[in-house]
Each structure stands twice: as structure tokens, then as C-alpha cells.
Amino acid sequence: MTALEAGAELGQKAFGIIIQPRIDEETSTPHAAMYDFRTDGITVFANGIEKAVEAGGDAFHVVRHAVAHELGHAREARYFAECGLFPYRLYIGSRCVIVAEGGRLSATGFSSLFDGLINTIQDFAIDKTLSQYGVKDQIARLDLKRTKDILNSLGSSSDKLERIRLRLQTVFNLPLDMSHYRFGDIAETDKKGIRELAEKFLGTKKWQEALDLISGRRFGDVEGYKRMVASYMHEFLGVTPIFRKRPRVEFGNLPNFWNNDVYETLFVE
Ligand SMILES: [Zn+2]
């Protein structure tokens, strides 16, 4: 059985969905694979797979995990559609600020990081489900470099603005890091490094709270997802998001299973 077939089989077992992945040999990206909500397609990136293998991964396991993981995103998209939530659009008001160490910063500058946050809260539930099938997160080791780099620059930089930037980066990456911490196919010392970094900015208590919060996330539970996104943003970024209905036509062309006229989307004002 090829790794792609093994990934499809695992994805079907864990999430009850089959989509034939496409392979991209050209694009240079650190991502091993990606789910495109616009086409309902899954792409496996040869370049990203190579990077994960260079970082110590086994090609078969990396590809199998990547395909199954993206099938999780495809399945969860259907749960979102059924429950009336469109999770891929975020509106950030120009007056919105996030509160960081000793200052208030415009949130619009962080919109791409917000997008990432919304996605990685999904990642946690997907990899939690896959771990129940004995499959560990293979992408964890790709992100370790970021954790180590931040820990290193913390030691060398006393610049206040730089510290705020690093803190925010850590907070935005936290759901992903907690996913790696729990389900990553990485050494215990690397998991400790992830925790150490988060504790540097949040303190031990907050790290544990964040971990307890996200550990309660259940795959496919859309109401739970909304509550989690809201409490996470409130707790760690000091913003209070709200969900508002918007007409589907605003989102452009979507696969057929998005068949409501209106969907809730996330507003941060
Ligand atoms: Zn993902």
C-alpha cells in the first residue's frame, strides 16, 4: 500500500470521508498538505514532505498523517456547514486592539495570525482524533525550529517591543504548539521546550489552563468550537469576538454542501 492510500484509508476510518489527494511537485511551501475549502480538494506538497523528512520524519508516516489530517479538515468543514458556521472568514474592526505586555496594539496588523489561530484550534481536534488511532502528529518536528529560535532570541534580546512581538507570536501559535505537545511524534525534551516557551510568557498556571481548555475540544462539535475560539481570544489576547450572520454570497463560490443562505462568521471589533 502506498503512503497516499494508507492516508486515505486512515482518514476514512477516522473521519468517514474519502477525497483523492492531488500531488504538487512545484510549489515551495513548508506545509506537507493542505485542504482548500473553496474546492474541497486536498493537495500534498512534495516540497513540504521533503522538509518534514529532512527534519527527521519517515516519508511514509509523514504522508499518511498529512493526508488523514487534511481529510479531518474536509470532514469538519461539513460539520461547520451543517451547523451554520463559516469559519474561514474573520472580520477585524479597525478600532480593535489586543492587549499585550504594557501596551495596546492594533489587531488588524495581526489578521493573518488570527486566521492561523482559527485553523490551529481545528488542528488540535483532528490530531486528537488521529491519536486515538495510534497515529502521531508528524508535522510537530517542523515547527520545533520556531520554538527554539524564539527561546534563543529571548535570551539575547531585552528590547521591550521585541518581547511583545515574541509573546504575541507564541500566543497565536499556542493551539498548534499544544497540539504538538500532546500528539507530536517528537522527543520528550522537545515537548518540554514547547512548554518552557509558553510558560515564559504565560506562566505555569495559564499554560495549564490553556491546555485544559483545548483538551476539551471535541472533533465536529461546532458549538464547542465557537465557545473555545471566543474564550481563547478573550483569555489570551484580550479581545471579545462575536458571531454574526452574513449572507453566503459574500464568501464567493463554495462546494455544494455549503447550502444555507446565511452563515455565522467571526467578528472582532
Ligand atoms: Zn491542519
What single-letter DSSP state applies at residue 253? S
* Amino acid 101: pLDDT: 74
Listed residues: CB within 5 A of ion ligand 1: 123
Does residue 20 carry a pLDDT above 70? Answer: yes
**C-alpha 196 to ligand 1 mean position (Å):** 24
Query: What is the pTM (predicted TM-score) of this model?
Result: 0.94
Q: Which of 3-7, 105-109, 156-160 has the lowest mean pLDDT?
A: 156-160
What single-letter DSSP state applies at residue 162? H
| Placement of cell 484509508 in the chain | 9
**C-alpha 61 to ligand 1 mean position (Å):** 16
* Amino acid 67: pLDDT: 98
* Amino acid 258: pLDDT: 98
* Amino acid 62: pLDDT: 96
Q: 69-106: per-residue pLDDT in tens?
A: 999 999 999 999 999 999 999 999 888 888 877 778 88
Does residue 1 carry a pLDDT above 90? Answer: no
* Amino acid 178: pLDDT: 95
Mean pLDDT of the chain: 92
**C-alpha 73 to ligand 1 mean position (Å):** 7
Does residue 6 carry a pLDDT above 90? Answer: yes
- The residues, any chain, with a CB within 8 Å of residue 149's CB and separated by 6 or more, are none
**C-alpha 176 to ligand 1 mean position (Å):** 9
Is the dihedral angle over the CA atoms 148, 118, 80, 210 positive or is it negative?
positive
Q: How confident is the model at residue 157 (pLDDT cuts 50, 70, 90)?
A: low
**C-alpha 172 to ligand 1 mean position (Å):** 15
Start-end of H helices in the chain: 3-15, 46-54, 59-83, 111-131, 140-156, 160-183, 188-202, 204-215, 222-237
**C-alpha 238 to ligand 1 mean position (Å):** 25
Q: Where are the domains of the chain?
A: 3-268
Q: 184-227: per-residue pLDDT in tens?
A: 999 999 999 999 989 988 899 999 999 999 999 999 999 999 99
* Amino acid 44: pLDDT: 97
Q: 112-154: per-residue pLDDT in tens?
A: 888 889 999 999 999 999 999 999 999 898 888 888 888 777 7
**C-alpha 25 to ligand 1 mean position (Å):** 20
**C-alpha 122 to ligand 1 mean position (Å):** 7
Q: 55-71: per-residue pLDDT in tens?
A: 999 999 999 999 999 99
**C-alpha 202 to ligand 1 mean position (Å):** 24
* Amino acid 124: pLDDT: 95
Q: 30-51: per-residue pLDDT in tens?
A: 899 999 999 999 999 999 999 9
Task: Assess contact for 138 and 32: CB atoms under 8 A.
Answer: yes
Q: How confident is the model at residue 107 (pLDDT cuts 50, 70, 90)?
A: confident
**C-alpha 158 to ligand 1 mean position (Å):** 34
**C-alpha 95 to ligand 1 mean position (Å):** 30
Query: Residue 46's CB: how many other CB atoms inside 10 A?
Result: 16
* Amino acid 156: pLDDT: 72
**C-alpha 124 to ligand 1 mean position (Å):** 8
What single-letter DSSP state applies at residue 80? H
Distance CA 102, CA 58 (A): 44
